[in-house]
A = this chain, B = another copy of it.
Amino acid sequence: MGIGDQIRLFPGMKEVEELIRSKFSSDARLLREIPEYLLDLGGKRVRPALTLITAKMCGLPNLPQELLDVSAGIELIHMATLLHDDIIDRSPVRRGKTAPHLKFGEPATLLTGDFLLVRAFSLCAHLDNFIVSETEEACVYLTEGEILELPLSKQPCSVSESLTIAEKKTAALFGLAAVSGAHVAEAGDETEFALKRFGIELGIAFQILDDVLDVVADENLLGKRCGGDLVEQKPSLVNVLWLKSGSQEATEVLLSETPPTEAQVSSALQQLRSGADSRIIEEARAIADEKIAQANAALEQAVNSLRASSRLDEPSHQLLAGLIDYTVKRLR
């Protein structure tokens, strides 16, 4: 069974999916239809899966309501950011289909994002102070990551700054997912902290994977055109590394005041895929590998301490390790 199916069938995923859908209730038709549309576009639900698998790995034998609530809340927050990000990025496509803001209009899509944030918070509000304050922190990081993500032509960005943006806009929610699961399982401060670190490092690797796929992916599998990050001159790790390499083409594409032409983007993709600059992709992969190694180290630290207290659920451990492997394989 592939990792996607293992995640989909993991105990609690069905309940979380139902809980998420139950939160779309509203008098306003669009507040029901837009979230349904977004959810039906698919996705692996990797964030709630991370919470459920982490909790089980830490020895939680059942599915208490608070675990389902925080898992569903995290996915609702993620959905809200997808709706708002597509508006901000003016993305025409989401998972191969018309992006919600183009299908339903910008005003309704913006308000639906707010609606989902509200639903998420009310799901999480009754949880303990630790989870509430971790949720606030992750959500603040999300907005900070997005707001710091200006086009390279407007603001220079170092490799370290690019990784900070990735940590804030993507990895913070992965960290929240993992730490919430561990906390509900009462894994203890040290293990919880290690698993938060695991989630964050995995999340950064996921974001780098996204940046790499934006260059090298098969467009049919990606569900959108390649080169989006080039067009928007995003401070993605690939773009920042390319610019740092001193390439004249990178400067022309990424620092010009006007967006690059289609011909420029095609040529840039060609250079980065198999031309003189393909080592940029290798550099990005190497940095992702470092993050993967750190994710593995943090996971092992947690696992050792769980094993010492005989609380480790080994199949869940293997599944988390499989999630890391999956990221590594897609990077190649």
Which of A's residues lie within 8 Å of B, judged by CB?
Answer: 26-28, 30-31, 80-81, 84, 87-88, 106-108, 110-115, 117-119, 121-122, 124-126, 129, 132-133, 135-136, 139-140, 142-144, 146-148
Contacts and interface: CB of A to CB of B under 8 A. Distances in A.
A270 B146 CA distance: 46
Given A28-B148, A31-B147, A147-B31, A125 B121 contact: yes
A185 B142 CA distance: 36
B107 A147 contact: yes
A84 B28 CA distance: 18
B114 A88 contact: no
A293 to B, nearest CB: 27
The prevalent SS among residues of A at the interface is helix
B122 A133 contact: yes
Contact of A110 (B88, B108, B148): B88
Given A27-B144, A136-B119, A143-B31, A87 B110 contact: yes
B143 A118 contact: yes
A144 B31 contact: yes
A22 to B, nearest CB: 14
Contact of A111 (B107, B114, B115, B146): B146
Given A125-B132, A140-B26, A147 B117 contact: no
Nearest to A148: B28
A114 B117 contact: yes
A84 B114 CA distance: 9
Contacts of A121: 117-118, 121, 125, 136
B115 A114 contact: no
Contacts of A106: 88
Contacts of A112: 143, 147
A190 to B, nearest CB: 25
